[in-house]
Structure 1
Amino acid sequence: MFYLAGIILTFFLAVLLITKRGKSEADLILAAWLTAIGVHLCSFYLTFSNQLLLFSFLLGFNFPLPLLHGPFLFLYTSALTNQKIPAKYKAAHFIPFLLLYGLFIPFILLPEEQKIQVFKNEGLDYEVEMLVMLSAIMISGVVYVGLALWRLNEHKKTIQHEFSSAEKINLAWLRYLIYGIGLIWLFVLFAEDAMIFNAVVVFVFFLGYFGIKQVGIFSQGYPPPGQLAADMALTESGTAAPDKPAAAKYQRSGLSDEAAARLHGLLSEVMQKEKLYTNAELTLTELAKALDVHPHYLSQVINTFEDKTFYDYVNTLRVEEFKRLVALPESKKFTLLALALDCGFNSKTSFNRNFKSVTGLAPSEYLKQGTTYLHT
């Protein structure tokens, strides 16, 4: 009953995604993937329950199905992290699946009685094809788990350079699901069929749950640097001066050393006066708009002059603001978390992690080293 419930759940989740309002590319890929998983689970269930021979015309059609899951995992991860792949390259990921079908065409075209005989004899006369299939499945598993993790790591780097808060967009759940599908591939090698089936059903549950509730992650769009006046040096007033040549350090970006230093000064002044870092959802693009400069150049300036990513730069300012606030006598009536939220942190976890990263101390340890703050 558990197995049938898993199959029904898989197709149900696929329908939910297909009928979801405002579907994203990731939703459509996940719906297609769940459909493929549902078909594969049906085939697996028929085999596991010894009913597959009742549908002997299906023998052979199910062999290449495992080669679908790696490409779907990679494409889904890419879509969730907004890393675009041209359509022709997306299709190329399914070539091994089609080639494996081609390999088994002679078997698929056999009369049903002969196919049943081959099945009962555990692939007699098709040993080479079976070895190729198993090798392809395992290679696909290793390669696509690696590619999906690589995509997530690229996403992590993007977060560090474009966002000041990562809790809602770090996709930690997807990393665990990738580990989960890697574990399932290991089960295929070493575990019993029942364990494989159970693991897949549990995997589907978590994939569907997180996939349906996941909000799309999109970077705010902006034109390439060469299309903006910001690719020229900034004048004293902060406007563009088209006749300034780019220094070697910023030759590729079009921003001179002098303009970069001026932009850094403007950034420091604005952050000190307006305290934009207290906005918990501040992004690189929003800050760049406030400074009337291209995000590409702002990121370069932060990386060069502060020797930090955008994420670390903003959260360092938040920590410094917290240290300033907590030393004020009037702050004693507030909790540490309330002060942290006022500084731009959006959770206790984020505050504790960033505070220790900047100061080397937990907030409680810092307070014991000299502040008169007493309220906890």
Structure 2
Amino acid sequence: MSSFIEIIPLLDAFFSGGNVFVIAYVLITGIQKKALFNIIIAITLFTFLLEFIFSFLHVSSDFDINLNFYAIGILILFSYSHFLIYRKVTLKFISILVLSVVIQLIFLIRIETIFHEKELTIVVLNSAISILILVLTLFNLRVYQKKLKNCYSSVKQKNLYGLRLIVFLLLFFNILWLIDDTTFLLIGENSVSDVLAILSLFYSYFSVLFLSIYAIKNQYVLDEIKKASKEIKELIVKEKNLQTLQNKELFEKLKQLLLKEKLYLNPDLSLNYLSKKLDSKDKIISHNIHHFSNTNFYSFINQYRIEHFKKLIFDDKNIKMSIDGIIELCGFKSKSTFYSHFRKIENTTPLEFIKKLKY
């Protein structure tokens, strides 16, 4: 263990240098392409990296700086997820901001005569607040995830899975740190702290790298979804009572087109593609789907895929094929998506459905 600890400075320098290069690339591409997502993530990652570096310097050489960069990064992440949905300052946002600023001021000032014995209590409080902010960030991302389903029939490659995973992992380690600091506050030094410190150090570097790669791959999709969601929302607000014959006819044309050309078999089918086929606007089609089928585009297309599966499963030509093979033929990218939608529509599992009709 001691020999491993001796090489930590070298590993720290290596990962720090690598992450600085990746973060710089994310920031530069974000500025060049005017991708706000990249810029926000780059700034967030940079604050994380500063916290990791200063934490290591504090442990190795007693160098200390009272500013909590890690909490600042989490606040930036929360702010971005908040404005994705609301696009304005709300009371909830102001409350979180004020709470975070107060804690940051305590970290920055840290008057020894007042906080010398209570300093660790403040650290525990900061971890608890970070957990709260991360939970709220997950809630915001969950709400935004629903907006994706208004624009794409498959959200496997266009969702916020990578970003949510990072937040989940940050939440996991904040809970560990909270437990560790609370234990230290109650019983003093323990061996768990050293192991946790080393583990969290390397996890932190790899999480920064992972989130950087995610930012590079997903910048354009997020900007596109943001724009489409805004247009759909504006249309619904302005045209709440839109039930004209023209829209009904357009919806019927959409259903006929899907059945005739079996477009639902395309796993990457998008609202934009259908709008071009129908010579209409994607926000009009989305509104009609909402109004006439009482569901979103994602679920609407998957209903057709489920019906196609029910036809194929009883076709003698497919008797030798597995269920998984037939699922792929129906346009589903994910087996879990298929099973969840099948149970939702048929109120039973695929196997129970097949047994019921065959026997």
Q: TM-score range by the shorter chain?
A: 0.7 to 0.9
Larger C-alpha radius of gyration, 1 or 2? 1
The 5-angstrom pairing of residues 23-34 of structure 1 reads 23=30, 24-34=35-45
**Which of 154, 178, 182 is the aligned partner of 2:171?**
182
CA contact (8 A) 1:14 1:32 kept: no
**Is 1:149–2:162 an aligned residue pair?**
no
The 5-angstrom pairing of residues 239-258 of structure 1 reads 252-253=239-240, 255-258=242-245
Give the TM-score, by structure 1 length. Answer: 0.70
Q: Matched residues in 2 for 1:106 and 1:266: separation?
A: 66
Q: Matched residues in 1 for 2:37 and 2:233: separation?
A: 31
Q: Deviation of residue 132 (structure 1)?
A: 9.8
Q: Matched residues in 2 for 1:224 and 1:63: separation?
A: 41
What amino acid maps onto 1:356 in structure 2? R
Tell me which residue corresponds to 2:161: 172
What amino acid maps onto 1:62 in structure 2? N
SS across alignment from 2:348 = coil
**Is 1:18–2:19 an aligned residue pair?**
no
SS across alignment from 1:148 = helix
Which segments of 5 or more consecutive residues in structure 1 lack a partner in the other structure?
A: 108-117, 232-248
**Distance of aligned partners of 1:359 and 1:6 in 2 relative to their CA distance in 1, 3 Å threshold:** farther
**Is 1:71–2:60 an aligned residue pair?**
no
Q: Deviation of residue 281 (structure 1)?
A: 0.8
**Distance of aligned partners of 1:201 and 1:25 in 2 relative to their CA distance in 1, 3 Å threshold:** farther
**Is 1:309–2:296 an aligned residue pair?**
yes
For the aligned residues, what is the CA RMSD?
Answer: 4.0
Q: Deviation of residue 208 (structure 1)?
A: 1.9
Give aligned-pair identity as a percent. 19
SS across alignment from 2:305 = helix
Tell me which residue corresponds to 2:273: 286
Q: Deviation of residue 335 (structure 1)?
A: 4.0
Aligned length: 327
**Distance of aligned partners of 1:270 and 1:104 in 2 relative to their CA distance in 1, 3 Å threshold:** closer
Tell me which residue corresponds to 1:44: 55
**Distance of aligned partners of 1:200 and 1:76 in 2 relative to their CA distance in 1, 3 Å threshold:** farther
Q: Matched residues in 1 for 2:140 and 2:197: separation?
A: 26
CA contact (8 A) 2:74 2:134 kept: yes
Tell me which residue corresponds to 1:351: 338
CA contact (8 A) 1:73 1:144 kept: no
CA contact (8 A) 2:29 2:38 kept: no
What amino acid maps onto 1:74 in structure 2? F
Q: Matched residues in 2 for 1:172 and 1:212: separation?
A: 13
What amino acid maps onto 1:146 in structure 2? V
**Is 1:62–2:51 an aligned residue pair?**
no
Which segments of 5 or more consecutive residues in structure 2 lack a partner in the other structure?
A: 181-191
| Structure with more relative contact order (C-alpha pairs < 8 Å, separation 6 or more) | 2
Q: Matched residues in 1 for 2:108 and 2:207: separation?
A: 35
SS across alignment from 1:367 = helix
Q: Matched residues in 1 for 2:241 and 2:233: separation?
A: 8
Q: Matched residues in 2 for 1:159 and 1:204: separation?
A: 30
